[in-house]
């Protein structure tokens, strides 16, 4: 099977580091024109910098690909709309959305502030909804779309100190389950990924006390992502666990 994205335009949120970066590089290497979105903040969502997104765009262009950087937040509808508009203004279309942006603010539930709970949910769940909502009319008009929601084993099975993160990661599954029904008539497919890889957002959970980070690489996950957002994929509504 050959996976090629020639003629396709992809938005990858949270693409300045880790898995999102690898997704953007992988799609670009296979011909996609890519909007590299990243707020450039810390893993708790604080701060802002254009450097991570710019660096990924430079890497894509150096390899002969096409990409543009975007620095908007997914946590606000206007920011999400701006991300999609970047694709339309630069490349004239949008075919693929990978909702990868995420943060963590881990604490046990009795110590967690509602502000931290709500903000994590807003980034992971509502951020995914906002970006998808902005792209969806254009996908319907084109009668084509591929959407990837990023879930997590923390959502599927639970993880100590992550009630906010876990709830948000299950919320995207519920969203997928209904949108797969609505999108089918317009050839818009939506799947969910539960990845495991050595990234900065995974490190605080202590996962690398169990798994060797040199073995759980982002490359293995990116291969599955490429399939799920390609024309080759005809499945919708699945939750895929992916790691090395």
* CATH code of residue 125: 3.40.50.720
- Give residue 1's pLDDT: 75
Nearest one of 21, 16, 9, 60 to 38, comparing CA atoms: 16
Asked if residue 83 belongs to a domain, the reply is yes
Calpha distance 138→19 (Å, rounded): 26
Asked if residue 2 belongs to a domain, the reply is no
Task: Give the pLDDT mean for 191-200.
Answer: 73
Asked if residue 102 belongs to a domain, the reply is yes
Asked if residue 49 belongs to a domain, the reply is yes
Task: Give the pLDDT mean for 102-117.
Answer: 95
* Domain extent for 48: 9-242
Calpha distance 19→193 (Å, rounded): 12
Asked if residue 1 belongs to a domain, the reply is no
Asked if residue 3 belongs to a domain, the reply is no
Q: Which of 71, 117, 125, 165 is catalytic?
A: 165
Find out whether 151 and 125 touch, Cβ atoms under 8 Å: no
Asked if residue 19 belongs to a domain, the reply is yes
pLDDT at 205 over 60: no
Active site residue 136: no
pLDDT digits (tens, 9 = 90+) for 51-91: 999 999 999 999 999 999 999 999 999 999 999 999 999 99
Asked if residue 88 belongs to a domain, the reply is yes
Number of domains in the chain: 1
Calculated CA dihedral for residues 30, 32, 37, 43, nearest 10 degrees: -20
């Amino acid at each position: 099977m050959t996976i090629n994205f020639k003629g396709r335009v992809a938005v990858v949120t949270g693409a300045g580091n880790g898995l999102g970066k690898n997704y953007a590089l992988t799609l670009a290497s296979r011909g996609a024109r890519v909007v590299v979105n990243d707020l450039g903040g810390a893993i708790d969502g604080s701060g802002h910098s254009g450097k991570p997104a710019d660096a990924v765009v430079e890497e894509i262009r150096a390899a002969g690909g096409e990409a543009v950087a975007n620095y908007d937040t997914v946590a606000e509808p206007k920011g999400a709309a701006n991300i999609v508009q970047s694709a339309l203004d630069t490349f004239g279309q949008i075919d693929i959305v990978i909702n990868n942006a995420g943060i963590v603010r881990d604490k046990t539930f009795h110590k967690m502030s509602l502000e931290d709970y709500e903000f994590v949910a807003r980034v992971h769940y509502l951020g995914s909804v906002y970006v998808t909502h902005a792209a969806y009319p254009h996908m319907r008009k084109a009668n084509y779309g591929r959407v990837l929601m990023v879930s997590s084993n923390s959502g599927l099975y639970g993880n100590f100190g992550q009630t906010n993160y876990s709830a948000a990661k299950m919320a995207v599954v519920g969203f997928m389950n209904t949108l797969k029904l609505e999108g089918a008539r317009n050839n818009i497919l939506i799947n969910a990924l539960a990845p495991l890889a050595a990234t900065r957002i995974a490190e605080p959970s202590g996962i690398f006390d169990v798994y060797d980070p040199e073995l759980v690489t982002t490359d293995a996950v990116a291969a599955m992502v490429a399939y799920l957002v390609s024309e080759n994929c005809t499945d919708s509504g699945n939750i895929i666990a992916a790691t090395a």
